[in-house]
Chains A and B, each alone.
Chain A
Amino acid sequence: MTDSRDPGQRDLAPAEPVERGRFWRRAWRAVARFSVPRFGLRTRILLTFSLGFLALSIFLAAITFSFTKSTLIKQRERASIDQTYHDASVALNALNSGPVGGQGVINTLTAYGIARPLLNYQDAWVGSAAGFGDDAIPSAMKVAVINNQTPARMVITVDGAHVLVVGVPLPEVDASYFEFFSLTEINDTLRSVGLSLLFAGFITTCFGIVLGSVASRRAVKPLGDAAQAAKAIAGGRLDTRLETSDDNDLRVLANSFNDMASALQLRVERDARFASDVSHELRSPLMTLAASVQVMQARRDDLPERAQSALDLLVADVARFQGLVEDLLEISRFDAGAIRLHLEDLLVAEFVRQAIGVSSLPNTPITVSDRAEGLIMQVDRRRLARVIANLIDNARLHGGGEPEVTVTEAENDGEPLGHVWIAVEDHGAGVPVEERHLIFERFARGAVAGRRSSSDGAGLGLALVDEHVRLHGGNVRVEDRRDGEPGARFVIELPAEEVGV
């Protein structure tokens, strides 16, 4: 009572804030989901490494490039300025020494190997043939050097090429000396440096990708191992454990995983042992019951009528009890993995006929297809006889009795599958599609058993069929009758081959 009311009361008061908080959380999550695609851990590690290395190489390349560039340009500028001052002093000396004129100075300089000198002497411009004219120099620079008498330098573009122009005023002789220096080599150098850096960046990024994939694989491997171990445990190999590693973080994971597995194993084993112990303990009183009931049954006619009815009930239920205990024992053997099959090569048809003969309905009709007559299978004959007996019991108890058995070679569109189908068809209500997988569960109760109504019902019979057939490398399924009439068709499929093959 209190349990069911409490949460309700707690829910009422803070409804709105919770709603609002939830809205924002949801909104944030939507945004986050939109902006960050959900990658797997491996992809994330790989991306982190690759992008990290890419960013690092871009950063380093940019620094290297700009540093190289500024150094180169500074050097070039300094050298150019020095050169210009030197050439200017040569020009000054020449102009001071005699009436050589502007052209004479230029000729002298060209003779020294100066490629692009330009002289403004007494407001006239004189340059070399290979050099540039004054129109190449921006007027601002002309003003600075000629009018304001301050040395200046500037990078200009002539015909698409970068050119450094340095201007030095020579006030003593009313002249200004300019010289042009090509920056093309620097650009070439910078281009090759850039290319090298690009290549280095590419290599670094590739290295990052490789490192990232190695790292991600290493990072994810323990997870993969854990997943595999968990799968193995789910598959029944309860003694599966993770290797404990040297890594502290991973050791925690491995240890707690192993602790969990041990606890699980202990528990499963305890449960299995309990079921096994219970059934073992039940066998002794059951022996006494079976023997005593038989003694009483031999004297049934001496008993009053009411006692006879009671005895009949006792006899029937002792038999049922005995069957149940045997089933329980068998199933606990399955759980303990203690089943050892005595496999023999048997003729399928002969075996099924014999198995029907010892079942609860020994006169059940059997049809064997021509091809199935020659099939042999490798089975534990007593265990598989139990399977047939259980299916026939099932048909007797839930399928309205009078089952029919058919043995056919398994085929798919006429292609033989190397298996045999042993089918038991009944005339009961059939099994609805949604309950077909439940029917092979242990003590399958609820809707399944209710529908199939019988006090004998829900036991371990079909669960044992499933376990036995699987242990023989086959499977069991339930479907509709082939002829369309109401009723169920239980089919066991087992590996079989033709005699002599």
Chain B
Amino acid sequence: MLHRVGTRILTVEDDERIRTAVKLALEDEGWTVDEAGSGEEAIELFHRGSPDVVLIDIMLPGIDGFELCSHLRKTSDVTIVMVTARADTHDVVAGLEAGADDYLTKPFAPKELSARIRALLRRIRPMSPGHTKLVFGDLEIIPDEGKVLRAGVELHLTKTEFRLLVELGQNPGRVFSRETLLDKVWGYDYFGDGRLVDVHVRRLRTKVEADAANPRHVVTVRGLGYRLQS
């Protein structure tokens, strides 16, 4: 098992039966599961239990999933998985832009969910000896410490954003296709959703670029994918 012992998951879902069944299934994976029936309850539990993963159903009474997601993102780099009704709506992009790391469409098999969670919680492979940091102009990445500095100031990236940046940085100048990044960062096969990469790159740029509209570090190579440069 790749996940670390004691992984804590908060599921936010207003349907009590689904919540209970998902909790049972996730507990079978050896994880600790907290349940919240509403966004308000989730915020309270989040601050008390400090979970590693939050599973959020977009359709919630009161504070909806998007709001909850961006609220948590303000203060935390916790891994967030969204549950949406459909894959081909704007919901997915909106959820990812609100800060989610990945998404699932209902109804999903709990096995799928645990596979997603495991992929998102994977540790970054350690740097080869002698290399401790990657430098791209004013950008400094220290993978082993999970730190990114721009002009000496530390940036706050989510775990997924950080993995994406490190993945791009470990082979400087190489162009990564969406498929490759989906595989390396999210653990998806050929049929992953390319929008995950696109939205995460957008989010990453707002943090690592001086001007996100004219990126200098994370650049798009048209028709091929993305590349990290100085």
Contacts and interface: CB of A to CB of B under 8 A. Distances in A.
Interface of A: 280, 283-292, 294-295, 298, 322, 325-326, 329, 333, 339-340, 342, 344, 351, 354, 357-358, 381-382, 385
A355 to B, nearest CB: 8
B154 interface: no
Contact of B110 (A291, A342, A381, A382): A291
Contacts of A381: 190-191
Contacts of A385: 191
B24 A291 contact: yes
B193 to A, nearest CB: 8
Contacts, number: 76
12 contacts: A284-B15, A284-B106, A285-B17, A287-B21, A288-B15, A288-B17, A288-B18, A290-B21, A294-B28, A329-B86, A357-B189, A358-B190
A294 B109 contact: yes
A475 B180 CA distance: 31
Given A342-B88, A354-B191, A325 B107 contact: yes
Contact of A287 (B22, B28, B111, B191): B22
A295 B88 contact: no
B191 A283 contact: no
* Interface of chain B, main secondary structure: loop
Contacts of B18: 284, 287-288, 291
Interface string B18-45: 1011101100100000000000000000
A280 B24 contact: no
A294 B17 contact: no
Interface in B97-128: 106-111
Q: Which of the four size classes fits the interface of chain B?
A: 20 to 34
Greatest chain B CB density within 10 A among A283, A344, A385 is at A283
Given A294-B25, A344-B194, A287 B107 contact: yes
Given A291-B18, A358-B191, 5 more contacts: A287-B18, A292-B21, A292-B24, A342-B195, A357-B190
Greatest chain B CB density within 10 A among A339, A344, A381 is at A381
A354 B85 CA distance: 26
Given A298-B28, A354-B189, A342 B106 contact: no
A291 B191 contact: no
Given A344-B194, A354-B189, A385-B191, A291 B88 contact: no
Interface string B147-177: 0000000000000000000000000000000
B191 A340 contact: no
Interface string B180-195: 0000000001110111
B15 A291 contact: no
B129 to A, nearest CB: 36
B164 to A, nearest CB: 20
Nearest to A380: B88
B85 A286 contact: no
A80 B47 CA distance: 132
Given A291-B25, A354-B191, A358-B189, A280 B111 contact: no
B194 A295 contact: no
A1 B121 CA distance: 71
